[in-house]
Amino acid sequence: MSFVNQLVQKGLLSQEKATSLEFEIKQSNKREEEVILESGLVQEIDLFTLKSENLKIPLREVLAEKVPLKTLESIPEETAKYYQMIPIQKVDKSLEVGMVYPEDLKAQEALKFLSRQGDFNYKVFLITPTTFKNLLRQYRTLKREVGIALEELETELKEEKVKMQPSTAAEFERMAEEAPITKIVAVILRHAVEGNASDIHIEPTREKLRIRFRSLGILHSSIFLPLRIHPAIVARVKIVSSLKIDETRMPQDGRFSTKINGKSIDFRVSTFPTTLGEKVAIRVLDPTVGLKTFEELGLEGGNLEAVKKAISKPYGLILATGPTGCGKTTTLYAVLQLLNKEGVNIVTLEDPVEYFIEGINQSQVRPEIGYDFPIGLRHILRQDPDIIMVGEVRDEETAALTIHAALTGHIVLSTLHTSNALGVIPRLIDMGVKPYLLPPTLQLALAQRLVRRLCDNCKKRVKPKAEIRDMILKELDDLPAAAKNEIKISKPLSVFAPVGCNKCNNTGFSGRIAVFEVLSMTEELADVISKTPSEVMIGKEAKRQGMITMKQDGILKALRGITTIEEVLTVAEEK
């Protein structure tokens, strides 16, 4: 009996979905398990528990970091990758091998051959594709790969008898093009992408060159390199980013693209002179990570309805607000993807273009040649646009042109730096926008922050401390009536805490999600703007229209086990 039918029998799959899957399996050249997992209809653990029962082979969950490199060397990396089998434990001449497809006769033959060659006995265990993927990475740890490249570099330098301190641009370039230096930079980039890092920091310290990755918003030191290779590493990054190699006193910005594991990834580069040498910050722009739906972002309930209502109107200004790195642009991209249809002309003006979206005309401002937001906006209006996205409202001129574009029948999306949604209107007025122009143009102000999402596999329910419990109950009591009716609170009140497991690399967290507050334009808000547009008065109107604050949105997400109360309190303001 096929896996699909067994999953239906166990109640893990509906008959309707099963029929669709069976058709896909027949049409594709992939294994049945692969198609089922790609559909996302069944949990990997459920499918492989069933497979374990069928094959009568025990299913093993293995922590990648617990498998020593010496054990992995029992099966060469290329063989492991091809047959999807990997050593997981070795004691004397006995080897435990994890296999994703132990029923594969060719894989079994290869394992027999290796056991004869390596003079070991083996026992087979079933492992999931995720476990296999995590273990495979252990063949190529950052320290090991960089260490090999450094050894190669030392060998080359001894043979050539050259110094490590180049003085001319030509020497910089020659050294940066050395195979080991190229390899070190490539390894750093690949590990950042595979580890879902958002940024790479290459920083000289007094004694070492420090490489740090930012993951889930937090910087982690990943490796330290000899300080003497710092000029070559920076030069290599500059070469691929088309920056001036011999300019070390002034900051520079650049960009490059490369394929990593079959995916095209963009990298945004910024160099910055420090007293110890040039620091390089690289933003990793993975299109599969950056382009998300509203649900993936954490926009839900009344907030989602308000956004959908605003973007359904034929014109108006929608502003996303918050500090740098809070996901504003990602939210605007989600709106653009929804609006991106054949019958509309969408033009964006960005600094820089972060993700390329098929069917949208995206333009990058270049202030150094006089192409800034105001000039770009004037030209956009001559491009017959229906929808305009402006990267950021930074000054009075951009604010005036953005309001004018919304007033003349366009949907305009942009970002602004304010601490919350209530501050958007006073900020625009401070930037010289006449108060009477705001009611007919501003449709929506949306503020957001990012919090770490709890790992669904290992999070645990806990009882909150008394002061936390009291704070939660107070915020829930202040919720609008509509939101109160929708929530279900466990009794006694409980929240969730991170634990750490194989799936989340023992961090307890997996990805990030946003907490939001959304302020819509209403007749009452228009009246407030015309009389006393202070944050206090706008706040009263926000409460009247049922706005949920970022803190309340975060608490509701924490009660459902999406994040922790501690995460929410680090980003949400005390009222």
Please determine, for residue 575, whether its predicted confidence score (pLDDT) is greater than 60: no
Q: Does 340 share its domain with 441? A: yes
235 CA to centre of own chain: 28
Please determine, for residue 65, whether its predicted confidence score (pLDDT) is greater than 80: no
Please determine, for residue 514, whether its predicted confidence score (pLDDT) is greater than 50: yes
- Does residue 136 form part of some domain? no
Question: Residue 173 — pLDDT band, cuts 50, 70, 90?
Answer: low
φ, ψ for residue 120, nearest 5 deg: -135, 155
What local confidence, expressed as pLDDT, does residue 175 receive? 59
- Does residue 133 form part of some domain? no
Say whether 523 sits in a helix, a strand or coil. Answer: helix
- Does residue 215 form part of some domain? yes
State which residues form the domain around 427. 291-571
What local confidence, expressed as pLDDT, does residue 569 receive? 94
Q: Does 114 share its domain with 163? A: no
Q: Are strands 208-215 and 346-350 parallel, antiparallel or unpaired?
A: unpaired
- Give strand pairing partners of 5: none
CA separation, residue 550 to residues 474, 569, 570 (Å): 15, 10, 12
Q: What DSSP assignment string belongs to 316-378?
A: EEEEEE-STTSSHHHHHHHHHHHH--TT--EEEEESS--S--TT-EEEE-BGGGTB-HHHHHH
Q: What is the CATH number of the domain that holds 32?
A: 3.30.300.160
Dihedral over alpha carbons 127, 129, 131, 137 (to 10 degrees): 130
- Does residue 380 form part of some domain? yes
Q: Does 378 share its domain with 523? A: yes
| 503-506 contacts, C-beta under 8 A, 24 or more apart | 503/130, 503/455, 503/457, 503/458, 504/455, 504/457, 504/458, 506/63
Q: Does 313 share its domain with 268? A: no
Please determine, for residue 64, whether its predicted confidence score (pLDDT) is greater than 70: yes
| Higher-pLDDT residue of 108, 13 | 108
The top-scoring range by mean pLDDT among 29-33, 118-122, 318-322, 355-359 is: 318-322
**Calpha distance 62→127 (Å, rounded):** 8
Q: Does 174 share its domain with 260? A: yes
- Does residue 122 form part of some domain? yes
Q: What DSSP assignment string belongs to 245-296?
A: TT--SS-EEEEEEEEETTEEEEEEEEEEEETTEEEEEEEEE-HHHH---HHH
DSSP 229: G
Q: What is the pLDDT of residues 79-96, one digit of tens each?
A: 999 999 999 998 888 999
Q: What is the CATH number of the domain that holds 319?
A: 3.40.50.300
Q: Does 175 share its domain with 312? A: no
Q: Does 295 share its domain with 281? A: no
Q: What is the pLDDT of residues 349-361, one digit of tens each?
A: 998 788 888 899 9
**Calpha distance 448→501 (Å, rounded):** 29
Q: What DSSP assignment string belongs to 530-565?
A: HH---HHHHHHHHHHTTPPPHHHHHHHHHHTTSS-H
What local confidence, expressed as pLDDT, does residue 504 receive? 81
**Calpha distance 32→473 (Å, rounded):** 49
Q: Does 148 share its domain with 102? A: no
**Calpha distance 319→391 (Å, rounded):** 10
Please determine, for residue 572, whether its predicted confidence score (pLDDT) is greater than 70: yes
- In the numeric block, which tokens belong to residue 362? 């995206």
Q: Does 240 share its domain with 324? A: no
Please determine, for residue 167, whether its predicted confidence score (pLDDT) is greater than 80: no
What local confidence, expressed as pLDDT, does residue 177 receive? 63
- Cβ neighbours of residue 68 under 8 Å, at least 6 residues apart? none
CB atoms within 10 A of CB 29: 5
Q: Are strands 316-321 and 442-454 parallel, antiparallel or unpaired?
A: parallel
The answer to whether the CB of 450 falls within 8 A of the CB of 477 is no
**Could you give the count of Cα atoms lying within 13 Å of 542 in the half-sphere of its Cβ?**
26
What local confidence, expressed as pLDDT, does residue 441 receive? 96
Q: What is the pLDDT of residues 288-309, one digit of tens each?
A: 666 788 988 999 988 999 999 9
Please determine, for residue 40, whether its predicted confidence score (pLDDT) is greater than 50: yes
Q: What percent of the chain has pLDDT over 90?
A: 57
**Closest to 420 measured CA to CA, from 528, 574, 296, 305:** 574
Q: What percent of the chain has pLDDT over 70?
A: 95
**Calpha distance 95→441 (Å, rounded):** 69
Please determine, for residue 403, whether its predicted confidence score (pLDDT) is greater than 50: yes
Average pLDDT over every residue of 305-315: 93
- Cβ neighbours of residue 23 under 8 Å, at least 6 residues apart? none
Q: Does 60 share its domain with 198? A: no
Q: What DSSP assignment string belongs to 380-403?
A: HGGG--SEEEES---SHHHHHHHH
Please name the helix (run of DSSP H) or strand (run of DSSP E) that holds residue 32, with its range, or none: helix 32-39
Q: What is the CATH number of the domain that holds 167?
A: 3.30.450.90
Burial of 170 (0-12, 13-18, 19+ CB in 10 A): exposed
Q: Point out the domain boundary residue: 238, 261, 285.
A: 285
The answer to whether the CB of 514 falls within 8 A of the CB of 448 is yes
Domains in the chain, number:
3
Average pLDDT over every residue of 273-289: 89
Average pLDDT over every residue of 45-69: 87
Please determine, for residue 264, whether its predicted confidence score (pLDDT) is greater than 90: no
Q: Point out the domain boundary residue: 75, 106, 128.
A: 128
Query: What ranges in 227-281 are assigned the alpha helix state H?
Result: 230-240
User: Taking the model in full, what pTM does it have?
Assistant: 0.73
- Does residue 357 form part of some domain? yes
Question: Residue 1 — pLDDT band, cuts 50, 70, 90?
Answer: confident
Average pLDDT over every residue of 33-62: 89
Q: Does 268 share its domain with 349? A: no
Q: What is the pLDDT of residues 538-547, one digit of tens each?
A: 999 998 888 9
- Does residue 135 form part of some domain? no
- Cβ neighbours of residue 85 under 8 Å, at least 6 residues apart? 75, 79, 97, 98, 99, 100, 102, 107, 110, 111
What local confidence, expressed as pLDDT, does residue 169 receive? 57
Question: Residue 573 — pLDDT band, cuts 50, 70, 90?
Answer: low
Q: Point out the domain boundary residue: 103, 128, 153.
A: 128
Total length of the chain: 575
Residue 217 φ/ψ region, left for φ over 0, alpha for ψ in the -120 to 50 degree band, beta for the rest: left
- In the numeric block, which tokens belong to residue 508? 């307890």
Question: Residue 17 — pLDDT band, cuts 50, 70, 90?
Answer: confident
Please determine, for residue 451, whether its predicted confidence score (pLDDT) is greater than 90: yes
Please determine, for residue 502, whether its predicted confidence score (pLDDT) is greater than 80: no
Q: Does 425 share its domain with 532? A: yes
- Does residue 489 form part of some domain? yes
Mean pLDDT lowest for which of 9-13, 213-217, 368-372, 488-492?
488-492
Please determine, for residue 384, whether its predicted confidence score (pLDDT) is greater than 80: yes
φ, ψ for residue 282, nearest 5 deg: -120, 120
Q: What is the mean pLDDT of the chain?
A: 88
DSSP 266: E
Mean pLDDT lowest for which of 388-402, 442-456, 483-497?
483-497
Residue whose tokens read 């001894």:
158
The answer to whether the CB of 518 falls within 8 A of the CB of 446 is yes
What local confidence, expressed as pLDDT, does residue 430 receive? 95
Please determine, for residue 559, whether its predicted confidence score (pLDDT) is greater than 90: yes
- Cβ neighbours of residue 524 under 8 Å, at least 6 residues apart? 541, 544, 545
Residue whose tokens read 């088309």:
242
Residue whose tokens read 């069917």:
359
Question: Residue 159 — pLDDT band, cuts 50, 70, 90?
Answer: low
| Higher-pLDDT residue of 440, 162 | 440
